[in-house]
Amino acid sequence: MTIAEILGLLIAVVLVATVADRLRIAYPILLVIAGLVVAVLPFAHRVTLEPDLILLVFLPPLIYDASLDTSARELRTHWRPILLLAVGLVLATMTLVAAVFHLLVPQSTWGEAFALGAIVSPPDSVAATQIAGKLGLPRRLVPILGGAGLMNDATALTAYQGAVASVATTLTVGDVAARFVFAVLAGVGIGLAVGWAGTRLLRFTETPVIENTMLLILPFAAYLPADKLDASGVLAVVACGLYFGRFGSRSLTAGARLQQRQIWELIVFLLTGLSFLLVGLELRPILETLTARTSGSLVLESLAVVGAVVVLRLAWMFGVTSLPRGNRLLSTSQGTPATWRETTVVGWAGMRGAISLAAALALPTTFAERDLVLFLTFAVIVATLVGQGLTLPPLIRRLGLISRDEQDLVLTAEARRRLIVLALTRMDDLAAEGRTPDDVARRLRTGYEALLDHVDRRLDSLSSDGGGGDATSSDGQDDEESHADYEAEMELRRKVIAVERDELDRLVAKRKVSRQVAVEVRAALDVDETTMRP
């Protein structure tokens, strides 16, 4: 692929996403449609990409970003539904799709059939996040879908590597099991080691650009050695991201954390867009190579695979929630048992996306049924992402489930208010410990009191933007102020913000504040800290 072609694809991604933003539609949906348009263009041609390059470029960043957005605490809290969705449902989907494919394509091997099953079995966490943010998915279900989305990828892609390997070589059931266990244990170990090393290296720098460059390296540093050792590179990236999200975030400066959110949003946006358009470029020549198969057989195979994926997820969700205490698998944060409405939404929210595309594109060119697998993968993505994604909002409205956006604003403002009150309570003691001049402490207190008044007004009106906080002290210093006073104020502000962060961590640990709210409040504290720089 030439530089001009890459530039053209990037321009197309930006244009499609702009249209999606104007239409208030999640951009992965329009990107899938754009991929179909590209496929029927007369000048569409096959793009030759190395399969290993696809895995290396696309998978580590996408999976690492999802792991950063998931906490180990959430995985422990929702371990039952996540285990049932991310392991049980993924393996069941992989098996059912493999059986359907092998039945319809009898000349295929079981390794090829299981490869397709592994590719289409994991719902895409990026797609789920976009649907949650743009189309009104109830917020109380997001932690479960997010955690399941992350572990879906780990389960499916680890099985995918085993299935692809079994096509190239003859493996017994014992060999496959042994390779799987080794891949899991070694992958997790490598990921934790890389996360630990990265966390400590970050302590030696306070320059945001350098810090975020190191963060960009981490997923690749975890994936490559695991892949070379035939371990699970996916699990290595997941373990690295979870470790860093738990222990490494405090090693970053406030400026680096603020940059980090924007950088990873950009990376995920570009990789997701490129993956859909690349499949579009491959789809037309793929259709030309499938001329031996009739249109009727392609439609039948597509409907069979899509039906297996969609119907099994719905049946699985209603099956597990009908078990004893199963209605509490999707319970709200207050412990209220979930109803059939929540079960229906989760069952219908199984969109496939960039991860499935990347895995399909990464199939070796020697893979016997590669073109058919790519075609069926794209069919599943179109049916689930476009079909289910566009029908999800009216389904939510029909079921009477309302988005929790307004409640999130209230919870964020209440959490921010609690931290400000604590800061005002501790400020005098911290000022005395640091021997801060009285006029400096008084000025900082005035700033915090003004911020408290602002938050109170926001809680009363609920008409302001949520999540962020304003700078907590005066914007500038008078020319005649001494440098010593300025440094004293900055030092006191650092101590106060540190107290706020510790209190926020305590509230999260006691589950009095959700992770979504904590992310917004931490961002506000980071903004406060970055305003201290001269």
Residue type, 439: D
pLDDT per position as a tens digit, 46-82: 666 676 777 788 888 888 887 776 766 666 666 777 7
Report the alpha-carbon distance of residue 81 to residue 78 in Å, rounded: 6
* % residues pLDDT > 70 (the chain): 76
Task: Give the distance between the most distant pair of CA atoms in the chain.
Answer: 85
* Residue 94 pLDDT grade (very low, low, confident, very high; cuts 50, 70, 90): very high
Q: What is the mean pLDDT of residues 513-531?
A: 70
Name which residue leads in pLDDT, 380 or 74: 380
What confidence category does residue 470 fall into, taking pLDDT thresholds of 50, 70 and 90? very low
State the pLDDT confidence band at 30, using cuts at 50, 70 and 90. confident
38 versus 382: the higher-pLDDT residue is 382
290 three-class SS: coil
Question: What would the pLDDT profile of 255-305 be if each residue is shown by its tens digit?
Answer: 787 788 788 888 888 888 887 777 777 777 777 778 777 888 899 999 999
Chain mean pLDDT for the chain: 77
**Structure tokens, 229:** 């050792």
| DSSP class per residue in 2-63 | -HHHHHHHHHHHHHHHHHHHHHT--HHHHHHHHHHHHHHSTT-------HHHHHHHHHHHHH
pLDDT at site 481: 47
Domain limits, the chain: 3-399, 405-530
Average pLDDT of the residues in 228-241: 87
Taking the CA of residue 169 as centre, how many other CA atoms within 13 Å lie in the half-sphere pointing to its CB? 8
Highest mean pLDDT range out of 77-81, 164-168, 446-450? Answer: 446-450
Assign 119 a pLDDT band (cuts: 50, 70, 90): very high
Topology annotation, domain 3-399: Na+/H+ antiporter like fold (1.20.1530)
Contacts of 330 (CB under 8 A, 6+ apart): 81, 141, 144, 321, 338, 342, 343, 346
How high is the pLDDT of residue 43? Answer: 65
* Residue 462 clears pLDDT 70, i.e. is over it: no
Residue 373: C-alpha distances to residues 46, 229, 273, 318, 396 (Å): 16, 27, 20, 29, 32
In tens, the pLDDT along 302-324 reads 999 999 999 999 999 888 878 76
Token duo for residue 473: 């002290």
Better-predicted residue by pLDDT, 388 or 467: 388
pTM over 0.75: no
Tokens describing residue 204: 């030696």
pLDDT at 480: 44
Whether residue 517 contacts residue 409, with contact meaning beta carbons closer than 8 Å, is answered with no
Q: In this model, does residue 468 exceed pLDDT 50?
A: no
Residue 133 predicted with pLDDT over 60:
no
Could you give the CA distance from residue 270 to residue 124 in angstroms, rounded to a whole number? 16
Helix residue ranges, H only, 230-292: 233-243, 254-289
pLDDT at res. 175: 67
The pLDDT confidence band at residue 534, using thresholds 50, 70 and 90, is: very low
Average pLDDT (115-135) is 71
CA distance 62 to 377: 18
142 and 407 Cβ atoms separated by less than 8 Å: no
Q: What is the pLDDT of residue 473?
A: 38
Whether the pLDDT of residue 157 is over 90: the answer is no
Which of residues 142 and 374 earns the better pLDDT score?
Answer: 374
Helical axes 125-134 vs 27-40, angle rounded to 10°? 120
pLDDT confidence bin for 475, thresholds 50/70/90: very low
Contact 34/16 with Cβ under 8 angstroms?
yes
Higher per-residue pLDDT: 6 or 99: 99
Q: Where are the alpha helices (DSSP H) in 84-172?
A: 90-104, 110-120, 125-134, 142-168
The C-alpha atoms of residue 190 and residue 420 are separated, in whole angstroms, by 40
Give the DSSP H or E segment for 505.
helix 483-509
Q: Which residues of 482-500 are buried (b: 16+ CB within 10 A; e: fewer)?
A: eeebeebbbbbbebbbebb
On the question of pLDDT at 457 being above 70, the answer is yes
Give dist(CA 74, CA 62) in Å, integer.
Answer: 19
Cβ atoms of 496 and 426 closer than 8 Å:
yes
Give the pLDDT of residue 255.
78
146 versus 212: the higher-pLDDT residue is 212
* One-letter amino acid for residue 277 of the chain: L
pLDDT reading at 360 higher than 90 = no
Alpha-carbon distance of 93 to 100, in angstroms, equals: 10
CA-closest candidate to residue 240, choices 68, 57, 54: 68
Residue with more model confidence, 148 or 20:
20
